[in-house]
Structure formats: structure tokens, C-alpha cells
Structure 1
Amino acid sequence: MNTRQKALRTGAVFIALLVIAGVLLLYKGNDAVALGMEKKEGILTAEQVKMSFDSVSGRLVNEAVKEGDTVKAGDVVMELDSTDTDLSIAKTKAQIAQLDAQIRSTGGSQSVNFMKADNDEQQSFRQIDQQRAAVASAQATLKNSRIDYNRKSELLAAGAIAKSQLDDAEMALNVAEANVAQQQELLSKLLSGAQDTGDTDSLNLPTIAQQRQSASNMSNDIDALQQQKQALEVQLKQLEVQKERLTLRAPEDGRIIKVLAKEGEMVAAGTPVLLLESERSYYDIYISEKQAQGLSEGDTITGRTVAGDKAVPGTIKLLTKAPGFADLKQSREKGQADLTAFQVRIYVDPQDGVVPGMTIGVNEREFTKR
């Protein structure tokens, strides 16, 4: 038999032994899940958190941690360049300050215009009262001139006076009539079309009303400016939130196990940059359907470390039907009892001497005592 034939025979025997061993293991139920169901053991695993920048991107300028560092919740771990955001914040604050100045200026002008309308009204009322007195005086003069003219007309008819005296009286009458007309015209101008009721306090002068309306309309300008300011304030808050997000902080206590980005690199939003191993640890065990009946999420389970036999209290956070591959025990064991396997995830509190990677076992009594 040559060397090649010997090698082929040896290979065939080796493959046959592997197949037989696999069949025996499958038949006996010695796969990982079956062994887990038999021994009720699991590997203590720390939850890992992928850290990334939320909704912001930019150049990484500060890598504050390295692999193996322990961090506390809130610690700064990375920072992106904030130059552009800082400039936008400064610009927005300047715009808000400018609007504040415009609002104050417009409000001041409005107050001045209202005061001016009040002062103009009072001054107009005084002028109207004075002009009413002038009209009354002119009317009194006209009345006297008319009486004098009538009297002298009678005297001239009686031959008691000369014609020149009547001419003088007529001239005085004409002057008085012209003066009354002039004074009444001046009063009408002061009234600006308002009806003169004789009561100054009840007058509503159109020019004054127009002044007040113009001053009142400035409130619309102030409202518009305030709305612009509110929009800028919202924009400022968004920029401040954006700046805050440029600083990445540890979400919880833990240990950095992987740094995925380096200083100077461009980082996209949502791209993992750090891997954090949290202090939340758990292990999974697989139990039978019968054992699962007495358990519920929130129950306390006490396991023990395989190395050192140290008690490890924990809380069931997940109790669910195991994946389909865990339900093969029936076929392997020719139809015997366990039809379905259940996965139990147990979270443990941090304690000295218990670290991720250790094997935790749960005694059968933990299920039978319930």
C-alpha cells in the first residue's frame, strides 16, 4: 500500500470518527443549550453601549479617553469642533440684541407720539377756546356797529347829523362783519372739520385722532419685531443644543473598551465612536418548561460562581421561550419530557470578586423552592 492510499484511509477514518462523535453528542443532548439546561450555568456578560454623537457631525478635536479608562456618568469623553456653531450663536445673539434695541426704540417713539398727541390736543383746545372768545368779541362788535349804523340812519333821516357820520358808521359795520367772518374761519380751521358743540372736552379733533391712530399702529411694528425675536430665540436654543451635542459624555458608569475614532478625523452623526462596557452585567441560563412555571420577570435568583462558590444575587429581567434550536431535546432523547426550553436572563448588581467572564451556576433548588 503506497503512502497516498495510507493517507486517504487515515483521513476517511478521521472523518468517520468525527461524524460518529457528532451523532453521539446530538443524540445525548450535549450541545450548548442542552448542557446549559442540565447544569443551569451561564457566562457573566457586561452590557456594551455604542456611543455616538447625536444629530451632529464634525471634526474630532478632543479625544478625552483611551481604551481601558474608567468613566463616570457625565464625564466628557470626546468633543467635536464647535467653531462654526460658536459663530452662529454669537451672530444670533447679536441679532436678538439688535431687535431688542429696535423694540425699545419703537416703544419709546410710540410713547412720545402718544404724549405729543395729548399735548397737541390740549394746545388745540386752548387755541379753540381763545378763538371762540375772539369770535364772540367780533360778534359783539358787529352787533354794536349794526346798532350804531341803524341809529345814525334814523338821525340822518331827521336831519340831525351829517351824511359823513352815517358813512363812517357804515364803514365800521362792514369792518365788523368782515372781522366776524375772519374769526369764524380761523375757528373752523382749528376745529379741522369737527362739529363745534361748545364743549371743548367732548371735541374729537380729526388731526389728533389721526396722531393717536398712527401711534397705536406702531404696536403692530413692535409685535412684528417681537415675533422675529422669538424666532431667533428658538434658533439660539437649537444652536445651544447643537453645541452641547458636540460634547460627548458618558451615559453611565463603565469602562472604555474600544476607541473607534481619532483626533482630527471627520465624524458623521450617529456613527459609533466609542464602545463602553457598562456596569450592568447579566448571564443567561436555559430551563425546562416545568421549571419556568414558577418564575416571572422581577423575581430574585441567587446563583453562585463556579470559581470560588460565591453567592451572586440577581433579578430576572427576561423570561422567554428559547430559540427553536433549543427545542430538540425531545428528538434526541426519544420523546422524553422536555418539549420546550426557556431562556432566563438574570441581571446582577456589581460586587467585589464578581467580574464579567466568570461562570455563574444556579442550583435546582432555586426553582423547586418556589
Structure 2
Amino acid sequence: MNKKILSVCSLFISIIILGGCGSKGDSEKSNTKSYPVKTLEVKNENYPISLEYEGITGGSEVRKLSFKSSGKISKIYVSKGQQIKKGDYLVDLDKSDLNLDMEASKAQMDSASAQYSKAVNGAEEQDINKAEIAVKNAEDNYNYYRDLYDKNAKLYQSGAISKQELEGAKLQADSYESALNSARQTLQQLQNGARKEDKQGLLAQLNAAKASYDSKVNLVQDASLTSDVDGYVVDVLCREGEMQSAGNPAVLLRSENQVVTIGLSSDDVKKVKTGTKSQVKINNDKVEGEIINIVQMSDKTSGTYSAEIKLLNPIDNSTFYIGDTVKVYVSVGDKNSIWIPISSILNDGEDYVYIVENGHATRKNVTLGATNEGKVAVEGLKPNDNLIIEGMKNIKAGYGVTIK
């Protein structure tokens, strides 16, 4: 009986052992499966290094033109998108009030000049008579414009005119009041004679009056905006008949230069300088450019340093839109290293690749460096390594591979 039990146990153990051996054989068979991959033999290569940034078209090439004085727009000569030449007329202000101010300032300057001349040369009876006539004319002018201002004040209170029109009338009245005071002073000087200190004072008044007149002349000239460059009208921000405030942009212009602006990091700004070459990708085309300006102070908000890149081969202006976002590649030299396709790199918290060693996949951790058009310089590989560039997502370290 015991012999039968022993025999059955021996048979059971044999079955288990045989079953275990069969299972192990199946596992080894599954591990010997070969996965198809494509490889690349890596080597040291020289590639240009570039800094990749997003840029904005336009930059400082866009000019904002405005008037020095407020006034009503009388004439607009250009339209959005129009090509212009340096010196072309753009926009005119109504110059009526400005011309009156200039004439009043000229009268004051002439009066001051006469006062000074009489003080230096001495007064004659006919000079005194002329001065009296000048006082009478100045009084008539002042009374007229003072009365006009009083009427405008009543119109303003009733809402019939704007505050700017009232201020214009006040400015005219004040100008003619100043001219009247100057004329009276001239007459008094002629009647009383002039001392040395009086002559010095009159000379100072003449110089001040001349400076005031020159300023009014400049305002009249500035009331006509003209282009200071050959270029294009980006936009017209005013309309005929509307009031335009001093300092507010009336027209936006850009020169014929096509410029892209980027914001360099504090590290990258030290790698480039004026004249550094670059490539700008616009509408799927790459255009050669170079840095023409680097701002030496960082932006308070972004902390970046603004750099302007001029396109060396301008594109068609109909496709160069101001404010468009483009890709910019700034060249900073060459690098000799092992360069591999970026697409061959995997990551599970660390960057790694697979290479083929003795027919099996071997994992290699890599450190990434500079990039160049789909390739990256790496550390962690050595020349002649067989890098797996296709099929690496289907394998793990130790898997058997077949090279396509």
C-alpha cells in the first residue's frame, strides 16, 4: 500500500517538474521575439547653432505722426496702404486761428523792434505820431477781439459753440491785448526817452517777441503733416472736419524697411550683437535678416531685451502685415557634437534613446543641447553607436531587434 502511494507521488512530482520546464521554455521563446527597427549610425558633426524666438513684424519702423497744436482737420491727402515718398503731404489742420496768432505775434515783434530802435536812435516827432497811431490801431484790434470773445462766452454758456472755440477766441483777445500793451509802452518810451537800462529791457523784450513769433511760425508749418520717409501708410486715425488734439497720432507710417522685433532673454542677449545674422520664417518662406538694434534696458514686464531684425531681402508688402507673429532663428555660431533627430528621443522623466548592441535594444540616457532644424546636440552617446530612429516606441531595454 505504501509502495503505491509512493509511486503516485513520484508520478505527480514528475508531472509538476515537466510542466515547469515547459513553462520556462515558452517564456524564453517570447523573449527571443525580434522587433523591426530603423537605425542611424551617429557621428560628430558641425551644425550652426541658432536661438529660436517668436517675433512681431513692424517694430520701430512704424512712425506715429501727430500735430503740435490742436485744431480741426481740413484735408487728408492719403489713405491706408498707400505708398508715399519723403516730403509728400499727409494731413492739414485748419490754419485760420494759427495764422491769426502768427500775425499778432509778428505785430508784437515789430512793435518791440520799433521800441528798441527808437530807444537807441532817439525819438522824433513823426515817430511819436506813428506810435500814437499804432496805439490807436492796437486799441481798435483789441476792442474788436475782446468783444468777439465776450460774445463767444455767451454762446458757449448756451451750448452753441465748443470749449475749444471759446479758448481760441480767448487766445486771440489775449494776443491783441499784449500787442496793445506793447504799443503803449513804445509810445511812452518815445515820449519819455530811454535810459541805458531801458534799452537793455527793450532788447530783451524784442528777443522774447522774436522767439514767440518763430514759435508761431513753426506751429503754422507743423499744421501740415508731411512724410519724413519713403514708405507706406499703415493707417489714418483722423477724419476731415473732426477736432484733433495735440500729440494724438493722426497717421501711422512705416518705412520701406521691413523689421521684426524679438525679446531676447538675459542669457541670449549676451550671445548676439548688431550685425548678427538671422532667418525669419514668414508665410512658410525663410528670409535672411540681421540685427540692427538691441535695446540695452530690459522690459519691466517681460524682463527681455528688445532686438530689431531687418529683412535683407524684403518680401512683397502685400503679405507683410504689421503685428504678425513670425518665427525667428538667430545664428550664434557652429557646434561640433553628436547630432540626432529630435523625434528619436523618448522621455519618462529623463531623456533617453535606444541603441542596438549585439542585436538587442540598449537604453542610453542623454543630455540635450542646442537644436538645429529638427536635430539636437546630445551628450551620452559615442560615435558609431547605432541609434534607433524608428520603432523605438514598441520596444524596451533588452528586446531583440531586427534592423530594417
> What TM-score bracket applies, with the shorter chain setting the length?
0.3 to 0.5
Task: Compute the TM-score of the two structures, normalised by the length of structure 2.
Answer: 0.42
Q: Please identify which structure carries the higher strand content.
A: 2
Q: Please identify which structure carries the higher helix content.
A: 1
Task: Compute the TM-score of the two structures, normalised by the length of structure 1.
Answer: 0.46
